[in-house]
Structure 1
Amino acid sequence: MEYLIYRSRALVAPRSAACDSIVVVSQRNNTLLGLTGFLHAEEGLFIQYLEGSPDVLWPLYERLHSDLRHTDLVMLGHGTVGRRRFSDWSMGYSSTNVLVFEDFLGEVSFKKQTEQASCSEALTFLAVAAARLDLGISDPL
């Protein structure tokens, strides 16, 4: 099993109908494809982690490049993983009501800009957002 994590410039607003559609369609499609992952949306920013079989993971990543709802995809990292990091999420979702990426970076990386975030910082951020939702600390809406 492989994973990938990327950052892109979001062209749709978080919690908009267009963003909600991304999550609903991804949840359905990922279940069918055996993918799991997590998407975080902020004004002008997507961070997404996906994991699953490379046979479906990489073609999906290629299709994401032509998705008009975001631009400027930057691969933060990819590799193999022994077990799923987001096994309970066909496509988890958070936005700034759960956690703000820049604030998180300021706490853990001494005011690093979002464009400078590493793969491990982005992955840790998504894991913290997922944990906040799992624990009921934050409301996904």
Structure 2
Amino acid sequence: MEYLVYRSKALVLPDSASCQSIVAISAMKNLLFGLTGFLHVEDGLFIQYLEGPPRQLWDLYSRLQFDERHTNMKLLGHGELRRPRFRKWSMGYSSSNVMSLKEFMAEATFKKTPEQASCAEAIWFLMGASARIDLGISSSV
């Protein structure tokens, strides 16, 4: 099992039908391909974590590079996993109403911007956002 984290410029708004479609269709397709992950949308930025079998994971990453709903895709990091981090989420989703990446980066990383987030910082943030949803502290919609 492997994981990857990328950042891109979102060309859809968090509350838009296009964004909701990304989440719904991705959840169904990820189930079929044995992938799990989590997407955060905030201030024109996507941060996405994906994990699963290497071939399916990298095939998806290749397809995402041609998705017209975002641009300037940058791979923040990737590696091997012993067990999934997001096993409950075929495609988890959050926006700043769950947890703000901008505030997280400012407080946790000495004033770095969301665009400067490292792979580890992105993973910590997404795990925090998913925990808030799992615990019922916040809703993903």
Q: TM-score range by the shorter chain?
A: over 0.9
Q: Distance in 2 between matches of 1:125 and 1:137?
A: 15
Q: Distance in 1 between matches of 2:132 and 2:43?
A: 20
User: So what's the TM-score if we normalise by structure 2?
Assistant: 0.98
What whole-Å deviation, never above 9, does each CA across 1:32-54 have from its counterpart, x for those lacking one? 00000000011310000000001
1:60-99 equivalences under 5 Å are 60-99=60-99
Aligned residues: 141
Amino acid at match of 2:124: T
Aligned-pair CA distance for 1:15:
1.8
Aligned-pair CA distance for 1:107:
1.3
User: So what's the TM-score if we normalise by structure 1?
Assistant: 0.98
User: What SS class does the counterpart of residue 7 from structure 1 fall into?
Assistant: strand
Aligned-pair CA distance for 1:114:
1.6
User: What SS class does the counterpart of residue 78 from structure 2 fall into?
Assistant: strand
What whole-Å deviation, never above 9, does each CA across 1:81-103 have from its counterpart, x for those lacking one? 00000000000000010011110
Aligned-pair CA distance for 1:25:
0.2
1:18-29 equivalences under 5 Å are 18-29=18-29
Structure 2 unpaired stretches of 5+: none
Amino acid at match of 1:70: H
User: What SS class does the counterpart of residue 90 from structure 1 fall into?
Assistant: coil
Moved over 2 A (4+): none
User: What SS class does the counterpart of residue 127 from structure 1 fall into?
Assistant: helix
Amino acid at match of 1:43: D
CA RMSD of aligned residues (A): 0.6
Structure 1 unpaired stretches of 5+: none
- Range that drifts further, 110-119 or 7-16: 110-119
Q: Distance in 2 between matches of 1:91 and 1:15?
A: 16
Aligned-pair CA distance for 1:55:
1.1
1:104-115 equivalences under 5 Å are 104-115=104-115
Partner of 1:120: 120
Q: Distance in 2 between matches of 1:8 and 1:33?
A: 23
